Amino acid sequence: MDARSVILAACTLILFALHQDFWNWRTVYPLVFGFLPIGLAYHAAYTLAAAAWLAVLVKWAWPAHLEEDRQRGPEA
Amino acid sequence: MTAALFVGLYLAAVLYIGVFAFRRGGADQSAENFFLAGRSIGGFVFLFSLFGTHMTAFAILGSSGHAFSNGIVTYGLMASSSALVVPLLLLTLGTRLWSAGRRFGHLTPVQIFRDRWECNHTGTVIFLLQAALLLPYILIGMIGGGTVLRTLSGGMIPYWAGSGLVAVVIMSYVIFGGMRGTAWVNTFQTLLFLTFGAVAVVVIGRGMGGFEQAVSSMLADPSLAGLLTRERVPPSVFFSYAFLPLSAIAFPHVSIFCMTARRMRQFKWTVILYPVCILLIWLPCVFLGVTANSAREIPRIRDKQAARALLASPEGRLPPEALAQSRAQASGDDVLVVLLDHFAPAWLAGLLGAGIMAAVMASDSQILALSTMFTEDIFAWYGHAERYGARAQIATGRLFVFAVTATAYLIALRVPAGIFELAGQYAFAGFSALTPLFVGALYWRGSTKYGALASVVWVMAAVAGIAWFQAATPASKGPPAAYFSLGELALLQRTATGTAIAGYLPVLPMTLISALLFWLVSLVTPKPSKATVERYFGPG
């Protein structure tokens, strides 16, 4: 495993761990946009952060060696 | 009745898509063309169909119902964990399934397992387990279709006719269109879900006088304010839920769908945009489900809250019938329909009703996956495809779709839905516990068929054991009841909605033990031949 793979795997684990936001457990405040409780707003933001991190993984950890981009007829 | 008309139009549209897909399929009568759309699915259809295939009725009806009863925790429990874990599985395992399917001509995961581990009956056992875990989902979809159609038509369409109509429509487009028709219908359904969510948020938000008003009124009521936090779910249960999305890749309808992509790069945008789709569907559904609690001017909401208060009160035990009745009344699964009935004009409620119908008709891909598995892993594997030819194989697949749908319909008429919901609950854990098999087959040279068999036998025993435990012990009203303890630690508990093992959901120990067994048994048992291992991993 090279250094880049280790760093990417470690960051993925950290993102996975950040899902457990125990510090927001019993609080409603602050209300984001005036109506979104922090416990919900945090996880909405977490979802967007996951999309951003997955874009990084697609860029830097794409398993290009598996690709066999043969033309196989028209697209469905 | 307007709603029923829109739903009728929706059903006609999906039927047309199925017939159109049949004509588009052309004269190619190969199994690959019918079951995998000739491995030709493009990027747009791949993203939306895969998402629609995985996010079933639960995404709309179940999520808002769960949020109505448990609060904002629903989103973190089921959506945001899936937003990271499911695309990661697609990136790390889905691409390898695609590659193995493309290189060796496999159509199902069991074919890959048999080839990779040089096994025969172990593959059959995996097929049987996957089929058994999949059946409850098919039945829940059928039951949901009949129930929603009856609700939307105001009782004019009886349950038997509604679920029968749904069965006939699904059967028709799956039999005619195969994977191509199913993928197109799923794409259409997902786009309807997305539109549904956006329109429902605007209409209901306006009807409530704005979401700030709805949240303020909940904060002012001590019995509702807790729903805006996560205090109703213990952190250990929240953590356990993060393991449930592991099930995604072991679902046959998802793993088989991974092999339909025309090119591997089609996974790229699917991986990146999957969390965004989750956000667009789940956030509105969860938020509307929670804030529905503020709409106390609606009598059905008040009735649900009264039933919930009765279930939560620590005093006294309810007789089993009264307990079941209170649970059914407190259930929030129809809360979106109730809000739409109250806040949306009839024509819009009808249009949105078609969106809800799209959500509950997600059994199609599961029925097709089961048919693909049966024809490939049983019919073809045991020599019938060679004996009778490819046409007979596809005809068998179509006949199997008919048989499964008809059987599911007949069972749905006779057996209460609760049984299948219970089975579905632990099927999720079962599929999660099968994921180590996929990791082992696709990443680990040292994995063996014996390791896989040990893991599968464990999953079978665990699912059966939990099902038996829940059937034999009454659901706990109030705090969980301990049945087996070690000192202060309650090892086995019956909770209001299921089972807890040392405070965690069964999925956690099931998955960890499955992985451990697979690893240990593989270490000490004979490996597949060097030639087979090198075909998958190259010389090493």
Domain ranges in chain B are 2-24+34-311+331-415
Query: Could you tell me if residue A52 is inside a domain?
Result: yes
Q: Least CA distance to B92: which residue of chain A?
A: A63
Domain span at A47:
3-60
Interchain contact B262–A (C-beta under 8 A): yes
| Pick among B72, B265, B280, B288 to test the A interface (most A CBs inside 10 A) | B72
Closest partner CB to A75 (pick from B72, B229, B262): B262
Q: Least CA distance to A55: which residue of chain B?
A: B272
Domain count, chain A: 1
Determine the distance in angstroms separating the CA of B212 from the nearest CA of chain A, rounded to an integer.
5
Determine the distance in angstroms separating the CA of A33 from the nearest CA of chain B, rounded to an integer.
9
* Secondary-structure class of domain B2-24+34-311+331-415 per CATH: mainly alpha
| Residues within 8 A of A (CB atoms), B 24-43 only | 24, 37-42
Q: Least CA distance to B25: which residue of chain A?
A: A76
What are the start-end ranges of the H helices in B118-158?
121-152
In whole angstroms, give the CA distance from residue B166 to residue B4: 13
Could A50 and B84 be called an inter-chain contact, meaning their C-beta atoms sit closer than 8 Å? yes
Give residue A49's pLDDT band: very low, low, confident or very high (50, 70, 90): very high
Query: Could you tell me if residue A76 is inside a domain?
Result: no
Q: Least CA distance to A16: which residue of chain B?
A: B84
End-to-end Cα spacing for chain A: 38
Could B42 and A76 be called an inter-chain contact, meaning their C-beta atoms sit closer than 8 Å? yes
Q: Least CA distance to B76: which residue of chain A?
A: A43
Q: Which two tokens stand for residue B161?
A: 């006719």
The helix (H) or strand (E) run that includes residue B507 is helix B507-524
CA distances from B45 to B188, B290, B370 (A): 9, 32, 21
Query: Could you tell me if residue A8 is inside a domain?
Result: yes
Query: Could you tell me if residue A9 is inside a domain?
Result: yes
Residue A50 with chain B: CB contacts under 8 Å: 80, 83-84, 87, 275
> Is the Cβ–Cβ distance between B271 and A54 less than 8 Å?
yes
Q: Quote the pLDDT of residue B15.
A: 86
Task: Give yes or no for residue A74 having a pLDDT over 50.
Answer: no
- How many A×B Cβ pairs under 8 Å? 146
Closest partner CB to A43 (pick from B37, B75, B263): B75
Task: Give yes or no for residue A51 having a pLDDT over 90.
Answer: yes
> Is the Cβ–Cβ distance between B190 and B48 less than 8 Å?
yes
Mean pLDDT by 10 residues, chain B (540 residues): 76 85 74 88 93 72 84 93 96 97 94 95 92 82 75 79 84 85 88 80 88 94 93 90 93 95 95 95 91 92 88 68 75 80 80 72 82 89 74 83 84 66 74 97 96 97 90 76 86 85 92 98 97 91
On the question of a cis peptide bond just before residue A30, with omega within 30 degrees of 0, the verdict is: yes
Query: Could you tell me if residue A37 is inside a domain?
Result: yes
In whole angstroms, give the CA distance from residue B386 to residue B405: 27
Residue A58 with chain B: CB contacts under 8 Å: 91, 268, 271-272
Query: What region does B477 belong to: left with phi over 0, alpha with psi -120 to 50, or beta?
Result: beta
Q: What are residue B501's DSSP bridge partners?
A: B492, B504
Interchain contact B516–A (C-beta under 8 A): no
In whole angstroms, give the CA distance from residue B425 to residue B428: 6
b (16+ CB within 10 A) / e for B150-169: bbbbeeebebeebbbbbbeb
| Residues within 8 A of A (CB atoms), B 487-506 only | none
| Pick among B229, B233, B260, B280 to test the A interface (most A CBs inside 10 A) | B229
Interchain contact B215–A (C-beta under 8 A): yes
Query: Could you tell me if residue A21 is inside a domain?
Result: yes
Q: Quote the pLDDT of residue B26.
A: 67
Q: Least CA distance to A58: which residue of chain B?
A: B268
CA distances from B48 to B68, B123, B160, B457 (A): 27, 30, 31, 35
Compute the C-alpha angle B429/B435/B437, nearest 5°.
130
Determine the distance in angstroms separating the CA of B330 from the nearest CA of chain A, rounded to an integer.
23
In whole angstroms, give the CA distance from residue B211 to residue B229: 16
Could A66 and B264 be called an inter-chain contact, meaning their C-beta atoms sit closer than 8 Å? yes
| Residues within 8 A of B (CB atoms), A 45-64 only | 46-48, 50-51, 53-55, 57-58, 61-63
Residue A63 with chain B: CB contacts under 8 Å: 91, 95-96
Interchain contact B367–A (C-beta under 8 A): no
Query: Could you tell me if residue A18 is inside a domain?
Result: yes
In whole angstroms, give the CA distance from residue B329 to residue B197: 25
In whole angstroms, give the CA distance from residue B86 to residue B323: 36
Determine the distance in angstroms separating the CA of A14 from the nearest CA of chain B, rounded to an integer.
12
Q: Quote the pLDDT of residue B164.
A: 86
**Cβ atoms within 10 Å of B142's Cβ, excluding its own:** 29
Q: Quote the pLDDT of residue B262.
A: 94
Query: Could you tell me if residue A28 is inside a domain?
Result: yes
B417, with CB counted inside 10 A (0-12, 13-18, 19+), is middle
Residue B272 with chain A: CB contacts under 8 Å: 51, 54-55, 58
Could B273 and A48 be called an inter-chain contact, meaning their C-beta atoms sit closer than 8 Å? no
Task: Give yes or no for residue A71 having a pLDDT over 50.
Answer: no
| Residues within 8 A of B (CB atoms), A 16-45 only | 16, 19-22, 24-28, 31, 34-37, 39-40, 43-44
Q: Quote the pLDDT of residue A75.
A: 47
